[in-house]
Amino acid sequence: MSTTATHSTATEAGASASAGASRRQGTFYRGDPGMWSWVLHRITGVLTFFFLFVHVLDTALVRVSPDSYNEVIETYKTPLVNLLEVGLVGAVLFHALNGIRVMLVDFWEKGPKFQKPMLWTILAIWVVVMIPGAYFMMKRTVEVMFGGH
Protein backbone atom coordinates (compact mmCIF):
# COMPACT_ATOMS: atom_id res chain seq x y z
CA MET A 1 0.00 0.00 0.00
CA SER A 2 1.39 3.41 -0.89
CA THR A 3 2.03 6.19 1.61
CA THR A 4 -0.65 8.36 -0.02
CA ALA A 5 -3.24 5.57 0.18
CA THR A 6 -2.35 4.94 3.83
CA HIS A 7 -2.64 8.66 4.68
CA SER A 8 -5.98 8.91 2.82
CA THR A 9 -7.35 5.87 4.66
CA ALA A 10 -6.19 7.26 8.02
CA THR A 11 -7.80 10.64 7.26
CA GLU A 12 -11.09 8.96 6.28
CA ALA A 13 -10.99 6.83 9.42
CA GLY A 14 -10.38 9.93 11.55
CA ALA A 15 -13.27 11.77 9.88
CA SER A 16 -15.51 8.74 10.34
CA ALA A 17 -14.53 8.43 14.01
CA SER A 18 -15.28 12.10 14.67
CA ALA A 19 -18.65 11.79 12.90
CA GLY A 20 -19.40 8.74 15.03
CA ALA A 21 -18.41 10.61 18.17
CA SER A 22 -20.78 13.47 17.36
CA ARG A 23 -23.57 10.96 16.83
CA ARG A 24 -22.84 9.34 20.18
CA GLN A 25 -22.98 12.72 21.94
CA GLY A 26 -26.51 13.28 20.73
CA THR A 27 -28.24 14.81 17.80
CA PHE A 28 -26.62 16.64 14.93
CA TYR A 29 -29.01 19.51 15.59
CA ARG A 30 -28.63 21.72 18.60
CA GLY A 31 -31.97 23.50 18.68
CA ASP A 32 -31.52 25.89 15.77
CA PRO A 33 -34.88 27.55 14.93
CA GLY A 34 -34.51 26.46 11.30
CA MET A 35 -34.29 22.84 12.41
CA TRP A 36 -37.41 23.15 14.54
CA SER A 37 -39.30 24.77 11.65
CA TRP A 38 -38.23 21.82 9.49
CA VAL A 39 -39.51 19.36 12.11
CA LEU A 40 -42.79 21.26 12.56
CA HIS A 41 -43.24 21.52 8.79
CA ARG A 42 -42.99 17.72 8.49
CA ILE A 43 -45.29 17.08 11.46
CA THR A 44 -47.94 19.55 10.29
CA GLY A 45 -47.78 18.09 6.78
CA VAL A 46 -48.37 14.56 8.08
CA LEU A 47 -51.20 15.72 10.37
CA THR A 48 -52.86 17.55 7.48
CA PHE A 49 -52.53 14.46 5.28
CA PHE A 50 -54.19 12.24 7.89
CA PHE A 51 -56.99 14.77 8.40
CA LEU A 52 -57.65 14.83 4.65
CA PHE A 53 -57.57 11.03 4.55
CA VAL A 54 -60.16 10.77 7.35
CA HIS A 55 -62.22 13.54 5.75
CA VAL A 56 -62.38 11.68 2.44
CA LEU A 57 -63.37 8.49 4.25
CA ASP A 58 -66.13 10.09 6.30
CA THR A 59 -67.47 11.94 3.28
CA ALA A 60 -67.50 8.69 1.27
CA LEU A 61 -69.58 7.17 4.07
CA VAL A 62 -72.57 9.26 2.92
CA ARG A 63 -72.93 7.02 -0.15
CA VAL A 64 -72.62 3.79 1.85
CA SER A 65 -74.80 4.64 4.83
CA PRO A 66 -76.32 8.10 5.26
CA ASP A 67 -77.34 7.25 8.85
CA SER A 68 -73.77 6.29 9.77
CA TYR A 69 -72.54 9.46 8.11
CA ASN A 70 -74.94 11.53 10.24
CA GLU A 71 -73.71 9.75 13.40
CA VAL A 72 -70.09 10.51 12.53
CA ILE A 73 -70.92 14.16 11.85
CA GLU A 74 -72.64 14.39 15.25
CA THR A 75 -69.43 13.26 16.97
CA TYR A 76 -67.67 16.19 15.29
CA LYS A 77 -69.81 18.59 17.34
CA THR A 78 -68.13 17.66 20.63
CA PRO A 79 -65.82 20.02 22.56
CA LEU A 80 -62.85 17.67 22.11
CA VAL A 81 -63.24 17.66 18.34
CA ASN A 82 -63.64 21.45 18.40
CA LEU A 83 -60.29 21.68 20.18
CA LEU A 84 -58.78 19.32 17.60
CA GLU A 85 -60.16 21.56 14.85
CA VAL A 86 -58.33 24.53 16.37
CA GLY A 87 -55.17 22.43 16.33
CA LEU A 88 -55.83 21.48 12.72
CA VAL A 89 -56.25 25.11 11.69
CA GLY A 90 -53.02 25.96 13.53
CA ALA A 91 -51.18 23.11 11.79
CA VAL A 92 -52.46 24.01 8.33
CA LEU A 93 -51.73 27.70 8.85
CA PHE A 94 -48.17 27.03 10.04
CA HIS A 95 -47.58 24.56 7.21
CA ALA A 96 -48.80 27.07 4.61
CA LEU A 97 -46.83 30.02 5.99
CA ASN A 98 -43.68 27.98 6.45
CA GLY A 99 -44.12 26.57 2.95
CA ILE A 100 -44.07 30.10 1.57
CA ARG A 101 -40.91 30.78 3.60
CA VAL A 102 -39.28 27.61 2.26
CA MET A 103 -40.10 28.60 -1.32
CA LEU A 104 -38.62 32.05 -0.74
CA VAL A 105 -35.45 30.51 0.72
CA ASP A 106 -35.19 28.14 -2.26
CA PHE A 107 -36.09 30.46 -5.13
CA TRP A 108 -35.24 33.99 -3.98
CA GLU A 109 -31.55 34.81 -4.22
CA LYS A 110 -31.62 36.66 -0.89
CA GLY A 111 -33.80 33.99 0.74
CA PRO A 112 -31.05 32.13 2.62
CA LYS A 113 -29.79 35.42 4.07
CA PHE A 114 -33.24 36.29 5.43
CA GLN A 115 -34.49 32.85 6.42
CA LYS A 116 -34.39 33.46 10.20
CA PRO A 117 -36.15 36.85 10.05
CA MET A 118 -38.72 35.26 7.73
CA LEU A 119 -39.22 32.44 10.27
CA TRP A 120 -39.89 34.93 13.08
CA THR A 121 -42.22 36.85 10.74
CA ILE A 122 -44.29 33.79 9.91
CA LEU A 123 -44.48 32.87 13.58
CA ALA A 124 -45.72 36.39 14.38
CA ILE A 125 -48.32 36.15 11.59
CA TRP A 126 -49.32 32.72 12.89
CA VAL A 127 -49.90 34.09 16.41
CA VAL A 128 -51.80 37.16 15.13
CA VAL A 129 -54.12 34.96 13.06
CA MET A 130 -54.48 32.08 15.55
CA ILE A 131 -55.47 34.11 18.62
CA PRO A 132 -58.67 35.55 17.15
CA GLY A 133 -59.21 32.40 15.09
CA ALA A 134 -59.07 30.17 18.16
CA TYR A 135 -61.32 32.57 20.05
CA PHE A 136 -64.06 32.47 17.41
CA MET A 137 -63.69 28.73 16.86
CA MET A 138 -63.95 27.96 20.58
CA LYS A 139 -66.54 30.60 21.49
CA ARG A 140 -69.61 28.43 20.87
CA THR A 141 -68.09 25.41 22.64
CA VAL A 142 -67.19 27.45 25.73
CA GLU A 143 -70.69 28.98 25.82
CA VAL A 144 -72.33 25.56 25.59
CA MET A 145 -70.05 24.03 28.23
CA PHE A 146 -70.09 26.90 30.73
CA GLY A 147 -73.28 28.73 29.88
CA GLY A 148 -73.61 31.93 28.00
CA HIS A 149 -75.92 33.93 25.81
The pLDDT tens digits for 47-96 are 999 999 999 998 999 999 999 999 999 988 899 999 999 999 999 999 99
What residue type is 104 in one-letter code?
Answer: L
Query: What is the rounded CA–CA span in Å between residue 48 and residue 91?
Result: 7
Q: pTM for this one?
A: 0.73
Q: Is the pLDDT of residue 20 over 90?
A: no
What is the DSSP-derived secondary structure letter of residue 28? S
Q: What is the pLDDT of residue 140?
A: 86
The answer to whether 134 and 86 are in contact (CB under 8 A) is yes
Q: Is the pLDDT of residue 119 over 80?
A: yes
Average pLDDT over residues 87-112: 95
At residue 145 the predicted structure's pLDDT band, cuts being 50, 70 and 90, is confident
67 torsion bin: left (phi>0), alpha (psi -120 to 50), beta (else): alpha
What residue type is 40 in one-letter code?
Answer: L
